[in-house]
A and B are shown apart, each in its own frame.
Chain A
């Protein structure tokens, strides 16, 4: 079973600052890491797929990188609406796995 570990649990930043979120996979054969944003009371929203491809309509300040076991979501300059929970997700052997999440708070 592929385990995804996200760090840090909480990131306390101010608007305009850069956010760097990490997702580490236990399985080196990790494929197609995706990133989701979730705001309170809402369903998650897909931001990034295949590690670095931004979904249409997602602002350019969101970017993804990484390969193998280490993946990163970067928000270049935080806007007030970016303060939320972020999850990474992987697929291996036809099962989906989520990381525990990182909360980006003001």
Chain B
């Protein structure tokens, strides 16, 4: 069965500093990996995905993620954090069985301090 781990419940970073939100996964076969962000009282917003190709994926709002097959990781990064980036971040993998639903990690709360 597919699974996703986000080892940090909370990440704090100062505005203007680089940020990293960690994600590791366990899948059978090639992974389809996604990052979503959730702001308070809102649904999930798509940030970026890795399907195949270049290991560095660029997405919305200046975010990027690095796929590392040997470490089974897909860490989310941004070179310079903004206070408005403060939100809940979810890493997800597609379950390639029937329905191909998302399997989400538990989420990491990012706080960017001014």
A and B from one complex: no
- State the B residues within 8 Å of A (CB): none
